[in-house]
Structure 1
Amino acid sequence: MDWLTARPIAHRGLHTASEGVIENMPSAFTAAIGGNYAIECDVQCSADGEAMVHHDGVLDRLTETTGPLGGRTVAELKRVDFRNTADRMLTLGELCDLVAGRVTLIVEIKHQRDAKSPLPKRVADVLSSYKGPVATMSFDPDQIATVREQAPNLVRGIVAERNFHPKDWGPMSGWERFRLAHLLHAPTSKPQFVSYRVADLPALAPTLARALFGIPLICWTVRTPEDRAQAEACKAQITFEGFRA
């Protein structure tokens, strides 16, 4: 899987908000392709079960609209105006058409509080027919297990950090946090790479995964020279933003 770590990974595309290039928007992805960077993006689920390219579960931070993304259909989300750009939200399929295999695409499936969400199955369905270098990943091992069941040939990874916060996950026992941080779910989720928080490196679990099983390590999110030095010391490919790698 050398293609996965061959190039630095532009976090949510190569975005510069002050120049009207907004994260997870077509302009940011076009800029990343122009720089020959791999692309990381996020997907959330629309009300009608489509994979939409957007990080937050709510629309307030980046758009002129408020409220949960998951309460709106694709058609409604397409009409949402973003601040500082004329770009519109993409479906995952539209992003695949835009990238068209020119650079590596890494799709993060955002954690869904509803265990019955159709999002991981929809992502697997869209990416199964994509011809370019692509992988999917998630903090949620259950979603990665679903992807493996739906599309066994689709490369999949796990995202992790030392601490899993209640604001993102809801109430969680100390054991469950420990399990996620140390990748103890790996026998069932079977990740093929690990994306770990750079501030939490070095960490035992991803180090052992690479040493024992050859599992590639990438890290998030590198924003400073210190972050980059830490990633290099741990031999991890960087997922970066705020500069050109």
Structure 2
Amino acid sequence: MLDRGKFLRPIAHRGLHDAAKGIVENTAPAFEAAIAKGYGIECDLRPAADGTPLVFHDLDLARLTEGSGSIADLKPGCAAKLPFKGAKLTGILTFADLLALVAGRVPLLAEIKSEWTSPSPAFMLAIAMLAETYEGPLALMSFDPAVMAEMRRLAPGIPRGIVTGSYRFPDGTPWYPDQLTDARRDALANIEESVLADPYFYAYDVRGLPSPVAQRIRGELGLPLFTWTVRTEKDRRTAADHADAAIFEGYEP
């Protein structure tokens, strides 16, 4: 199960980043800044061309780096040399790099990104092997229950979770409009696909709280509930009232 005593604390979303100060999300300076304050760390994992897990959120490289195209086409050696925009910093971390940097000092929530297709077997196996040999507090999570069901098979000893919410933005626009049907979105929002993953925790969109599903997670299921991404005073109050820990960004608790 998830160790509540270790994990239920403020979690810095993609590290304690600040673009105005040249501290880029999902980079070593952002993670070191979070560690210095004793915050937990949330990060994102995507596969390089050979399946190596890289610590990066976007599918495309252009927003954060001087590169272009898909991260899935990037070789690890090139990722290590790629400059970030607005920072005197070069190199996308591998998951192995991140684990070595954190070294058990704070809890780590690693989100396995999904495009709602079968993930690279090499990517999944590499994550599982690194996670199983890591000695610090680490949990894996994904929006895609199929990803976590596979991780349940590959790394049964590692706490796993589902990232979820209403599957619609506040204006009613659906999440993943090209990848998911309305029926599938409804099933995911109602955590109907989570059974095979057997999650130890959930992370719920703060914009959808309070919700009957979130109440069921904490009450009937008795599982810890993180909430993302907490950015405002209103979000903070919502997180305090309806979740167990906030995944925060843009301020310090």
Q: Deviation of residue 4 (structure 1)? A: 4.9
Residue by residue, what CA displacement relative to the aligned partner does 1:114-155 show, whole Å, maximum 9, x if unpaired?
Answer: 414233332112111000000000000000001000011100
Is 1:94 the equivalent of 2:102? no
Which range is displaced more, 216-225 or 183-192? 183-192
Pick from 145, 162, 165 the counterpart of residue 161 of structure 1: 165
Which range is displaced more, 90-99 or 116-125? 116-125
For 2:154 and 2:79, locate their aligned partners in 1 and report how far apart those are by CA, in whole Å: 26
Q: Deviation of residue 55 (structure 1)? A: 0.3
Letter in 1 for 2:133: S
Which residue number in structure 1 is paired with residue 141 of structure 2?
A: 137
| Percent identity between the two aligned chains | 38
Which residue number in structure 2 is paired with residue 121 of structure 1?
A: 125
Aligned residues of 1:120 and 1:147 also touching (Cα < 8 A): yes
For 1:116 and 1:52, locate their aligned partners in 2 and report how far apart those are by CA, in whole Å: 14
For 1:65 and 1:210, locate their aligned partners in 2 and report how far apart those are by CA, in whole Å: 42
Taking structure 1 as reference, are residues 22 and 113 closer, same or farther at Cα in structure 2, changes over 3 Å only? Answer: same
Question: Does the residue aligned with 2:196 lie in a helix, a strand or coil?
Answer: helix
Q: Deviation of residue 169 (structure 1)? A: 6.2
Which structure 2 residue ranges, 5 or more long, are not aligned? none
Which residue number in structure 2 is paired with residue 23 of structure 1?
A: 25
Residue by residue, what CA displacement relative to the aligned partner does 1:1-33 show, whole Å, maximum 9, x if unpaired?
Answer: 213543100000000110011100000000000
Which range is displaced more, 81-90 or 115-124? 115-124
CA root-mean-square deviation: 1.5
Which structure 1 residue ranges, 5 or more long, are not aligned? none
For 1:147 and 1:194, locate their aligned partners in 2 and report how far apart those are by CA, in whole Å: 15
Letter in 1 for 2:118: A
Which residue number in structure 1 is paired with residue 189 of structure 2?
A: 181
Residue by residue, what CA displacement relative to the aligned partner does 1:52-72 show, whole Å, maximum 9, x if unpaired?
Answer: 000001100011111100001
Which residue number in structure 1 is paired with residue 242 of structure 2?
A: 234
Pick from 213, 216, 233 the counterpart of residue 221 of structure 2: 213
For 1:45 and 1:73, locate their aligned partners in 2 and report how far apart those are by CA, in whole Å: 10
TM-score normalised by structure 1 residue count: 0.95
Letter in 1 for 2:195: P
Counterparts of residues 99-114 of structure 1 (less than 5 Å)? 99-114=102-117
For 1:10 and 1:92, locate their aligned partners in 2 and report how far apart those are by CA, in whole Å: 17
Pick from 59, 64, 67 the counterpart of residue 65 of structure 1: 67
TM-score normalised by structure 2 residue count: 0.92
